[in-house]
Structure 1
């Protein structure tokens, strides 16, 4: 499992203090006695991200990322692709950076904002940062929280930032740290997706935390960015910007990656579709699972499901399915439901067909559906569906796998969550259930359970005992194929939505 983030922070802080005691706050780097470059506060256009691109050679989790022989050349590439701020790792032992890197970049590009990203602990480090040419400094709340002296140091550091007009980027990881940070009326908060408990990335939790921050505070999505789709997610959740390091450094020879990230973010920010926000809010706050009623084919069933308390309605767009819903019918039902039940989420369900994929994306673009369910998603090719690269997605989607055992679960997927359906030749709607033993095994691996396939009143108590995050219900509440039983529909939703 390795060390926790808190332990890594403690190790880094101790090592830095030892070096400061020996070398001084400048770490023995020659600094000018007065700042030599203009102070450039971070700035971005209203509908574009505050894009912070990072010069980063290594990290405790990734090891060596790149030697970066010419930091100024990398910064030049970032600026050309649209970066507003250059983040420079100046920690020497674990990240292989230095104040010299920062000074070189700021002296070469004096009119760009530069962030000193380090593990700052002392008020005296702010003057050093200012003289070196930093315009922003990173302050990690986890390094100060829970210790009165350190909390006092945090306040003193913020006072020094104000004295030198440096912008503090205050980094948080959880709700406790958010409350601590908000007491200081921050201008910018960075939400780091690294999990404090095991040093892994938890992007969903970081995205969810955005809702806990007042709109007046600018928020930056940090860590875990691995594709343009992550930029789309940051935009759709309403983040004001992103801080991206490892992904850009690793792919610096691919000249358009930063530009694509910004483009995807901008699309997400324009749409701000609530699908993922509602799903993640339920995951992290609700004692009961989300309910999706799938295979909706007529308006009566759609209204009955909405009135009974369903969270999502599923429209099957595959013509071969006995529950196929024609495009005109999807639009009719979507408009009617949205008018009376605007909180209900609409999902288009497809199989791996290019025609279906194109149709679903068009329905999403028109606002007729809120998300695309990628049924029979192949976990062995997790980045592709219907020959489309999901890492470049600028729309809402989630994977649905035919699940028999944990080996069927995708280990690396851009999908924010994975729906589990039973394996059958019918490709959904078979009424066949997933073995409870397989679900228990997956849950023991720390996976949230989103369950489809044979969910009915007969096995509901057992499934609810697994504390699933979502139940997808279809054939077991039907009078006939494609027609729901109103009583069963009401009963199953009421049972699910009653907290236990």
Structure 2
């Protein structure tokens, strides 16, 4: 089935054949405005667009010059202008007028460009940079357009969507690449998809994160995952004042203390571990050659079945931690709430040498008291990589207390599933709700609830998972992550190593 991207490109080629590359716009015969490098400060590209196929009408009556002026007043210095007419309702005239009004800004032409004439027209129109979508160009076409862009002195922003695009771009080693969080076939946005794909890029580059950024928390994820800039569209078209909030997230200072791992890189490291799941590879993707990692990423993208990510929770001692890591655990969970599995912070510090992600499981508020200060200290020092909020924390409370974090929601009815969308973390773990208990109960979620959660996004599943049922659960629901605790114990806080081994074998065979 033809996706929307291919449809747009075919339509544009047809119009070019009939109307020429300017498509009726009044493009000067020579460039009349200065060239400005893309990706200055702040590291934010704000977009001018009226609509999109995925979101429909955004602002059909916007004045591009007025909107660009609002962006500049809020601190933006890089502006993207959608010039595609039929699906986005933009035009080259929009770009020309924006650049004339703000010659000091870097202006990116965002369109589905197909040949060298498109580059020449973009240069005359005043573009400082052009978007080149690798997926719609052959190897030879991409090379020709990158070279033409460089000859004009513009910046080529080469957009990559999958491992095949990375292979196509690798011989050219473009200096600036863009990775889109939106799947142009399904329109679904996954903030971890660009992080995962970036693990395959093995040349020096600057990376722009595209789509899905709406506020400070999203921007902080991008910045702490090592991206150099973000391209923001709908959020700032609707609310230009968001620019300051997003910029604050991009510039959020890292912790100024010596750490075991770079503070805040939890999501980037976890995205790399998505390559685990093939018995041929047992380490994180950062230890793989990019082509080896790509060989695994392609089948995952093709929806073939690979082993889920695994979190083993309730770790209280080194012996259990070491066996879980040796078997392939991606995350170890340490409980800091009132529980027979509560861990001594010194134990967590002593495990800093283990090459695995670590999450502190906390419950805040109510009768459970404040989170121990030791958790904040462990997070700041890099002994834990993220906080799992497993209580009744509201969305606005989580990021203000700890970052990185993810939310664990205890569900009891289909109505609870809607709460997932209210949290800012790119993933939400789901567990069964049991009165007066916060995890470790051994109770499974009802099948109808699991299916409802899977409709919202990638499934992170906890609750009653053990070596007897994990194979069937994985075959039935294909979760992205599974979280096991009490089902793999000899006693609370002590793992049964034989059950752990069988658990991972069942996962691999599922």
Pick the TM interval, shorter chain: 0.7 to 0.9
TM-score using structure 1 length? 0.83
Q: What are the equivalent positions in structure 2 for 1:294-305 lying under 5 Å apart?
A: 294-303=313-322, 305=324
Residue from 210, 215, 219 that aligns with 2:207: 219
Say if 2:271 is the partner of 1:280.
Answer: yes
Deviations 1:86-114 (A, max 9, x none): 11111222222222221222222222211
Distance in 2 (CA, whole Å) between partners of 1:154 and 1:310 is: 40
Distance in 2 (CA, whole Å) between partners of 1:68 and 1:42 is: 27
- 2:340 alignment counterpart: 322
Say if 2:442 is the partner of 1:423.
Answer: no
Structure 2 unpaired stretches of 5+: 278-305
Secondary structure class of the residue paired with 1:203: coil
Instruction: Report the Cα offset of residue 416 of structure 1.
Output: 1.8
Instruction: Report the Cα offset of residue 337 of structure 1.
Output: 0.7
Say if 2:99 is the partner of 1:90.
Answer: no
CA contact 2:461–2:483 (8 Å) conserved in 1: yes
Deviations 1:387-441 (A, max 9, x none): 5265x78721122122356543345242222222122122211122234565456
Instruction: Report the Cα offset of residue 484 of structure 1.
Output: 0.6
TM-score using structure 2 length? 0.82
Residue from 345, 348, 352 that aligns with 1:334: 348
Distance in 1 (CA, whole Å) between partners of 2:183 and 2:114 is: 21
Q: Which moved more, 1:29-38 or 1:486-495?
A: 486-495
Residue from 24, 29, 34 that aligns with 1:33: 29
Say if 2:389 is the partner of 1:374.
Answer: yes
Distance in 2 (CA, whole Å) between partners of 1:143 and 1:393 is: 43
- 2:464 alignment counterpart: 454
Q: What are the equivalent positions in structure 2 for 1:48-87 lying under 5 Å apart?
A: 50-67=43-60, 69-87=62-80
Q: What are the equivalent positions in structure 2 for 1:67-146 lying under 5 Å apart?
A: 67=60, 69-145=62-138
Distance in 2 (CA, whole Å) between partners of 1:344 and 1:21 is: 55
In structure 2, the CA distance between the partners of 1:202 and 1:487, relative to structure 1 (3 Å rule), is closer
Structure 1 unpaired stretches of 5+: 146-150, 379-383
Instruction: Report the Cα offset of residue 487 of structure 1.
Output: 3.4
Secondary structure class of the residue paired with 2:178: strand
In structure 2, the CA distance between the partners of 1:229 and 1:496, relative to structure 1 (3 Å rule), is farther
CA contact 1:282–1:289 (8 Å) conserved in 2: no
Deviations 1:24-67 (A, max 9, x none): 3222222322211111222436xxx6321111121111122124
Secondary structure class of the residue paired with 1:338: coil
Q: What are the equivalent positions in structure 2 for 1:330-409 lying under 5 Å apart?
A: 330=345, 332-339=346-353, 341=354, 343-353=355-365, 355-356=370-371, 360-376=375-391, 384-385=394-395, 387-388=396-397, 390=399, 395-404=403-412, 407-409=415-417
Deviations 1:458-480 (A, max 9, x none): 33333343443333222233343
CA contact 1:308–1:493 (8 Å) conserved in 2: no
Q: Which moved more, 1:133-142 or 1:60-69?
A: 60-69
- 1:164 alignment counterpart: 152
Instruction: Report the Cα offset of residue 303 of structure 1.
Output: 4.6
Say if 2:6 is the partner of 1:10.
Answer: yes
